[in-house]
Structure 1
Amino acid sequence: MTAPAPAPGPATAPVHVPAKRWVYVIPVAAFMYMLAYLDRNNVSVVLPYMHGDLRLSNADKGLVSGIFFLGYVFLQIPAAVLAQRWSARKTVLILMVAWGLAAMVCAFVQTKEQFYAARFALGFFEGGVWPAVLILLASWFPLRERARANALWMACLPLSSIIMAPLSGLMLDHASWRWVLFLQGVPPLVWALVWWFAVADRPAQARWISRAEAAHLESALAADEAAKPAPAGGGSYLKAVRKPQVLLLIGVYFCWMTGFYGFSLWLPSVVKELTHGGSSTEVGLLTAIPFALALAAMIGNAAWSDRTGRRRAAVAGPLVAGIAALLLGQVVDGGFPQMVLLCVTAVAVYAPYGPFWAIPGELLRFEVVAVAMGLVNALGNLGGFAGPYLVGWLTDVTGTQLTGFAVLAGFLAVAAGLVTFGLRPVATAPLESQPPAATRFAQR
C-alpha cells in the first residue's frame, strides 16, 4: 500500500481523522455478514422443529451444524490473497451471491446426506468472506482504531441472533422449516447490489469522501506499516505463517471456536428445554436475550482494549468467565439462574472478537497479514465443527448435556491459557501514547 508521508507521531497535536468511514463501511459490511451468520446459524433454530424429518440423531444434528466448518476452510487463504492483491469488494460480492444460492439449496434436501452436502457447500462459499472483510477494514481503519472497527463489524454476529432468532421462530410458527431456509437465503442476493455500489476497496477509490480526507487516512495507514519492522529475508507468506505468534493464534482460535460454536449452536435447544417445550416464537425471543448482552460486551470490551492496549487481558478475561458460567450452568437447576448463566457465557465467548482480530495487524505487515488471518480463521474455525459435534455425540452417549458442555469449558480453558502464557505481550501504553505496533508483542 502506498501513501503520502507518514502521519505525525504521538508528540504532535492530533489531526482530525475523517469519520465517514464509520458510517459507510461498517454498517454495509456488518449487515452483509449478519446475513451470512443467519444462513450459518438458522439451522440451530430449525433443528428442534424438524419433527423427525430426515431422521436425525443428536450426533447427526451436531454434524449438520458442524460440517459447515469443514467447507469453511477451503477458501480462507485464497479469498484473503484475492482481497489483498485484487479486490476485497469484488471477492465478497462473488461469494455473497454463491452462498445465497447454497443457502436456498438447503431447503430442498431429502436425506441427511444431502443436508450434509448442502451445508458443506454453504460453508465453502461463506469461508472466504471473513478474511476478505478483515482485509477491507485494514485498508480503512488505522491500528489505533482497529479493535473498535473489528468489534463494530463483528457486532453483526450477536445482532444477527438478536434479530433473526425471534424472526426464525416466528416464521416456523407459520411456515415449514424448508420455507424458512429458502426465504432466508434470498436477502444476500439482494444485498449484493447494495454492497457493489456502497463499498470501495480503499479511501482513494471512495466517492463519498474528499480527496484530502482520503489522503490523510491513507497516510495514517502508511504510518502504521512503516512502524513495523521489515521481515528478514523478505515478506514471504510461508515465513509469516510460521511465526510462533501466528501458530499460537491458531491454537487460541481453534479452542475458543470449539467452545463458542458448541455453545451457540446448541443454545436454542437448551432454551427450549428451559421453557418445557415452549413455542418456537417464545424460544426465539428468549434465545435473543444472551446475544443482546453479548453485543454490548463486544463493543465495550473492544473500546477498552483500544484505550488501554491490553489485548491479552481483553481476550483471556472473558474466556475465564465463560468457563465458570458453562460449568455452573450444568449444576444449577433450570429456570432463571440457568438463563443468567447462559447470558454470562454468551457475553464471555463474544467479547474477545474485536481485540483478538486486532492482534494479527499489530504483528505482521499488510502484505502478509492477509494469509496469516486466513490461516488463523481457517484452522481455528475447525473448532466450529468439533464443538457442535462433540456436544451432540456426548449427549447421545451419556444421555445428558453435562459432559458436552464440560468439554467445551475445557477448550475455553486451553484458549485462555494460551493467550495468558503463550502470546507473552509486552505491556502496551494507552492509546494516547501508544508506541509503534510492532513493539507491543514479544517476538518469541
Structure 2
Amino acid sequence: MSTTVPTADTPELARENAVFRKVIRRIVPFLILCYVVSYLDRVNVGFAKLQMSSDLGFSEAAYGLGAGLFFIGYFFFEVPSNLLMQKVGARTWIARIMISWGLVSAAFAFVNSEATFYALRFLLGAAEAGFYPGVILYCTYWFPSQRRARVIAMFMSAIPVAGIFGNPLSGWIMDVFDNAAGWSGWQWLFVVEAIPALVIGVVCLFWLDNSVRDAKWLTDDEKTVIEKALAADATHHTVHGRALDAFRNGKVWLMCLIYFCFVMGQYALTFWMPTFVQSTGVKGGLAIGVLSAVPYLAALIAMNLFGFSADKRRERRWHLVIPSLMGAVGFSMAASFTGSTVLALVALSIAAAGVLTCAPLFWSLPTAFLGGTAAAAGLAVINSVGNLAGFVSPYMIGALKDATGSTAIPMYVLALALVIGAAAVLTTKKDVVNR
C-alpha cells in the first residue's frame, strides 16, 4: 500500500477531505455527547457543594480533598483500563465505563459523612478511568496527526458545553427539586444527572465501531483512504512496541509535567467556579449557574479557533504557549477582582479560554511520537499522572482558602503552574510535534 501523503489542491486530497468529514460527522458528535455527560457527572459536585457542605458540615479542605480523590482512583486504574480497551474493543469498554460511572454517580445521593464522600469519589474515578485517554487513543485509529488537533478540540468542546448548559441545569435542579420527597436539591442533582450516562452507555454498544474495517457505514474505497492516511502518519512515530517502552521514554514524562500544569488550572475552574461566582455576592443556584456558564462560552470559542489554526499552520508549540499564558493572566486578574462580579467574570473568562484551550491542543504533542501498544500505555500514563493535578488543585485551593480566608493566593499558584507548563512546552522539538 502506498503511503504518499496527498498534496494540496489535488483530487486525491479532496477525496481524502470528504472521507474524513464523513468520519467526523459519524463519530465526533457522539463522543462529544459522551464527554458532556462524563464531565457533568465528574464535576457536578462543585454545584452540590453549595448545599451539601452546609448540610453535612464539610469544611472547604474536606470538600477539596473529596473532589480530588476522584483522581487517585483515576490514577491507579487508568493504564490498565486503556490496555484493556485495546484488547476488548472501544465499543464494549466505553459502554462499560459509562454505565459503571452512572451507577456510582447516582449513589452520591446517599452520602452522609466525609468517609462515604471520600469513598464514592475514589470509586467514581476508578469507574471512569480510561474514558478520556481511551477516546484520544480511539481518535488515533481514525485520524492522522495533521487532522487530530482539530478533532480533539471539537471533542473537548464538551467541557465548555457541559459548563454552558450543565451549570444552569445543575442550579435549576437544586432550586426546583430541593426538599422534594424529603431529599435536598444536591441529592436530586446526582440522581438526575446520572441517568444520561446509563442510557448513552447502552447506545455505545450500537453506535461505535472498534476499527475502520468494522465500520459498515464506510465503503471499501473510503476505508482504504483512511488506512492509507494512517499508514503515512505511522512512519513518523518514534516510540512503538511494548507498553513498557512508554515508561522508559523521557518525552513521555515531559508530557506528564506539561499536562499536570494545565490540569491544575482546568480543575480549579470546574470544581470551584460556582464558589468563585458565589463569593462575588451572587445568590441562588440558577443565577450562579447562568453566570458560571459565561467563562465556558469564551472557552468554547477560543479552543476551536486555536485548534483550527494549529492544524492549518501545522504548528503546535506556540498554539499551546499562548493560551497557557492567557490562563495565567486570567487567574492573576481574578485574584484582584473578587469584589466585582463583572470584573471577576471577565478574568475567569480569560482564564477559562486559556486553560481549556490547552488540553485539546496538548494531545497533538504525545500522539505525534507515540505509536502501537506504547501509545495505549503512554497516553494513559500521561493522562493519569497529569490528572493527579486534579487531586492537588482542588485540595490546595480548599486548604489555602481555609487557612487564609481568601482565594487570591491559590489563584497566583495556579498562574505560576501555567507559566511553568508554557516553559516546558518550549523545550519540545518543533520538528517532532509540528506535523
Shorter-chain-normalised TM-score: which range?
over 0.9
What residue number does 1:6 align with?
3
RMSD over aligned Cα atoms: 1.7
SS at match of 2:76: coil
Q: How many equivalent pairs are there?
A: 422
**Contact 2:71–2:387 (Cα < 8 Å) also in 1:** yes
**Contact 1:261–1:387 (Cα < 8 Å) also in 2:** yes
Shift of 1:12: 8.8
Structure 1 residues 204-283: aligned runs within 5 Å: 204-229=213-238, 235-274=241-280, 276-283=281-288
What residue number does 1:296 align with?
301
Shift of 1:7: 4.3
| 1:388 equivalent among 376, 394, 415 | 394
Of Structure 1 and Structure 2, which has the larger fraction of its residues in helix? 2
What residue number does 2:343 align with?
337
What residue number does 1:189 align with?
198
Structure 1 residues 362-377: aligned runs within 5 Å: 362-377=368-383
Structure 1 residues 36-435: aligned runs within 5 Å: 36-50=38-52, 52-175=54-177, 176-229=185-238, 235-274=241-280, 276-332=281-337, 333-420=339-426, 422-426=427-431
Distance 2:344 2:8 in 1: 51
Shift of 1:424: 3.5
Q: Structure 1 residues 169 and 132 mapped into 2: Cα distance closer, same or farther (>3 Å)?
A: same
Shift of 1:440: 4.7
Q: Deviations over 1:55-94 (max 9, x none)?
A: 1001011112111111111221112212233312211111
Q: Structure 1 residues 11 and 307 mapped into 2: Cα distance closer, same or farther (>3 Å)?
A: closer
1:20 maps to a residue whose letter is K
Shift of 1:52: 1.6
Q: Structure 1 residues 388 and 51 mapped into 2: Cα distance closer, same or farther (>3 Å)?
A: closer
**Contact 1:321–1:344 (Cα < 8 Å) also in 2:** yes
Distance 1:195 1:109 in 2: 29
Shift of 1:11: 7.5
Distance 1:248 1:204 in 2: 34
SS at match of 1:228: coil
Q: Deviations over 1:270-315 (max 9, x none)?
A: 11122x2411001000101110110111111111111112211111
Distance 1:413 1:21 in 2: 36
Between the aligned residues of both structures, percent identity stands at 31
Shift of 1:408: 1.3
**Contact 2:169–2:289 (Cα < 8 Å) also in 1:** yes
Q: Structure 1 residues 163 and 387 mapped into 2: Cα distance closer, same or farther (>3 Å)?
A: same
Q: Which deviates the most, 12-21 or 71-80?
A: 12-21
Distance 1:77 1:414 in 2: 26
Distance 2:55 2:245 in 1: 49
Shift of 1:40: 0.5
Distance 1:12 1:241 in 2: 41
Q: Structure 1 residues 335 and 11 mapped into 2: Cα distance closer, same or farther (>3 Å)?
A: closer
SS at match of 1:140: coil
Q: Structure 1 residues 227 and 323 mapped into 2: Cα distance closer, same or farther (>3 Å)?
A: closer
Distance 2:423 2:141 in 1: 32
Distance 1:354 1:284 in 2: 25
**Contact 2:317–2:434 (Cα < 8 Å) also in 1:** no
Q: Deviations over 1:245-266 (max 9, x none)?
A: 2111100111221122123311
* TM-score between the two structures when normalised by the length of structure 2: 0.93
Distance 2:79 2:360 in 1: 20
Distance 2:75 2:106 in 1: 21
Distance 1:73 1:401 in 2: 27
Q: Deviations over 1:124-163 (max 9, x none)?
A: 1111111111111111112111001111111111111111
Distance 2:287 2:217 in 1: 43
1:300 maps to a residue whose letter is L
Q: Structure 1 residues 271 and 75 mapped into 2: Cα distance closer, same or farther (>3 Å)?
A: same
1:73 maps to a residue whose letter is F
**Contact 1:79–1:131 (Cα < 8 Å) also in 2:** no
* TM-score between the two structures when normalised by the length of structure 1: 0.91
**Contact 2:99–2:202 (Cα < 8 Å) also in 1:** no
Distance 1:132 1:281 in 2: 34
**Contact 1:254–1:381 (Cα < 8 Å) also in 2:** yes
**Contact 2:39–2:159 (Cα < 8 Å) also in 1:** yes
